[in-house]
Amino acid sequence: MTVALKKPHKSARKPKGDGHLRRGEILAAAERIFIAEGYAGATIRKIADAVGVSSTALYMHFRDKDQILLEISDDAIGQLLAVNVDIAHRPIDAVSRVKLMLEAYMRFALDNPNTYQLVFCGSRDVISKEKQAATADLGDRCFEEFSGPIHEIAASGRLRTGSGESAAQVLWAACHGLVALMITMPDRDWAPREELMQVTLDGLLHGLVTD
Amino acid sequence: MTVALKKPHKSARKPKGDGHLRRGEILAAAERIFIAEGYAGATIRKIADAVGVSSTALYMHFRDKDQILLEISDDAIGQLLAVNVDIAHRPIDAVSRVKLMLEAYMRFALDNPNTYQLVFCGSRDVISKEKQAATADLGDRCFEEFSGPIHEIAASGRLRTGSGESAAQVLWAACHGLVALMITMPDRDWAPREELMQVTLDGLLHGLVTD
DNA sequence: CGACTGTGTGATTCCCGTTTAGTGTCGGGT
DNA sequence: ACCCGACACTAAACGGGAATCACACAGTCG
């Protein structure tokens, strides 16, 4: 849409200058506001004001509001994916890899609550359908990276119950539930974070995997 | 519009008559729309249209939109609480009670996805602060009803790891995570519901409680 | 008969995301 | 040198959300 890739001739008007700078400025401002005030607080007009342009200008660089915030989320989820890939390559046993990945996952969620909510708690009410394309894909790849070791464990017959797939989904869901609740109900008196995380991981792995 | 059927010439003027009927009508219409279209879809205007009244009229009977939907949710959560109380009184061992309660909890969530999201996934973005008063309290009492048996188990020293409180929170969170993900990402290819629920419950209870 | 009160309305306010139409500027192509 | 079109941008407006205001009706009480 915005970038002219199709000028076959030389020296086509380069998409440099203001255009690219603006895009970065917008993303930076949007990220700042989104982190501080969440999805509803990150208004098009507020972002535009922060950049110092009119709200209409944002539509020069992004299709709509969701695209801006999802692009920010892509960055963040990309980092999580990188961590997962790194862990996946370490020469340690599968159970340890699972544990490290899920720990990283939960810490990511607690460190980036708004991003986490946008990507993993977004009802289709707020994010509507297929806009998530890229972000959802990154999320999928995170899950796959993490379900790899689980299937290893399943293949070696060490799963006490259920299929490898269901075990992977359950482990993911349990960790999701913990951080999601802690994020959306921060005023509850939770047991210490570390304890909750360890009880979840140890409990489930102990219950699902035979030694 | 005009409901002229009651005319008791007795008893000083009280807020009965039209008032009470309207209130019920509004709640019924709101519930229908909310269940069908979720929080964002249940608009003040839409509800008012369904009742056949101007949008302003809703503010005669309810403080704001959230109060309407939370009142609906109260009903639903109240039913869940009743089930929990019933289970709590059955003459069966604590672990079975825990299991039955969590199963009922998950089935409730999957049967009432919009209500569940409103109460248990509502970021303060959308529901803002202390409006939840009554509903949150019902949720608390559900949790307490359910954490009772857990503390019984903890008191008898059968907890493999963590405190009774953290075990209760972790069990709750795990079940929450499962249903929350299934609700917000219905298009994923999940393992069969029953299997996921059983793997979650059996896995965690096996891992946390010694026989 | 007023006056008062509960119930309801239409117009209005203030946000929101998004669209439309128009302005200025700049880089070539001729 | 000239004009043309692409680009970055803007002001104004649209439609829709929640919520409020000023006002119009019943009835009922004194």
Residues A1-28: tens digit of each pLDDT: 333 333 333 333 344 455 578 899 999 9
Among A117, A123, A39, which Cα is nearest to B38's? A123
Q: Tell me how far apart the alpha carbons of residues B52 and B2 are, in angstroms, rounded to a whole number.
A: 11
Residue B20's pLDDT is 75
What pLDDT sits at residue A130? 67
Q: Is A5 on the interface with B (CB under 8 A)?
A: no
Task: Verify whether the Cβ–Cβ distance A174 to B173 is below 8 Å.
Answer: yes
Which residue blocks in chain A are alpha helix, DSSP H? Answer: 18-41, 44-51, 58-61, 65-88, 94-111, 113-120, 124-127, 133-155, 164-184, 193-208
pLDDT band at A124 (very low <50, low <70, confident <90, very high): low
Which chain B residues have a beta carbon less than 8 Å from that of A192? 166
Question: Is B174's Cβ below 8 Å from some Cβ in A?
Answer: yes
Answer whether residue B192 shows pLDDT above 60. Answer: yes
The pLDDT of residue B130 is 67
Predicted TM-score (pTM) of this structure: 0.90
Are B174 and A172 a contacting pair at CB < 8 A? no
Number of A:B CB contacts under 8 A?
162
Contact of A122 with chain B, judged by CB distance below 8 Å, is answered with yes
Q: Which of residues 135-194 of A touch strand C (CB under 7 A)?
A: none
Q: Tell me the average pLDDT across B32-46.
A: 96
The tens digit of pLDDT for each residue in B130-166 reads 677 778 789 899 999 999 999 999 999 999 999 999 9
The answer to whether strand C lies under 7 Å from the CB of residue A33 is: no
Please report, rounded to a whole number, the percentage of residues in chain A having pLDDT higher than 90. Answer: 80
State whether residue A174 sits within 8 Å of chain B by CB: yes
- Bases of chain C with protein Cβ within 7 A: 6-11, 15-21, 27-29
Asked if B123 is an interface residue toward chain A (Cβ–Cβ < 8 A), one would say yes
Q: What is the spatial distance, in angstroms and rounded to an integer, between the CA atom of B45 and the C1' atom of C13?
A: 17
Q: Given CB atoms, is A133 within the 8 Å cutoff of chain B?
A: no
Nearest-angstrom CA–CA distance, A32 and A89: 33
- Cβ neighbours, 10 Å, residue A5: 7
| Category of B22 on φ-ψ map: left (φ > 0), alpha (ψ -120 to 50) or beta | alpha
The mean pLDDT of B166-172, rounded to a whole number, is 98
C4 C1' to B18 CA distance, Å = 19
pLDDT for the residue numbered A21 = 82
Q: Is the CB of A53 under 7 A from strand C?
A: no
- The average pLDDT across A178-200 equals 96
Nucleotide nearest to A44 (CA to C1'): C17
What pLDDT is recorded for position A4?
Answer: 37
φ/ψ of residue A77, rounded to 5: -65, -35
Residue A147 backbone dihedrals phi, psi, to 5 degrees: -80, -10
Q: Is A35 a residue whose pLDDT tops 50?
A: yes
The tokens of A60 are what? 């020069």
Straight-line distance from the first to the last Cα atom of chain B, in angstroms, rounded to the nearest whole number: 64
Q: What is the largest CA-CA distance in chain A?
A: 65
Option in B121, B198, B207 nearest A184 (CB):
B121
| Amino acid, single-letter form, for residue A180 | A
pLDDT > 70 in chain A, percent: 86
Residue B88: Cβ-neighbour burial (10 angstroms; 0-12, 13-18, 19+): middle
pLDDT (tens digit per residue) in B74-116: 999 999 999 999 999 999 999 999 999 999 999 999 999 999 9
d(CA A39, CA A118) in angstroms, rounded, equals 7
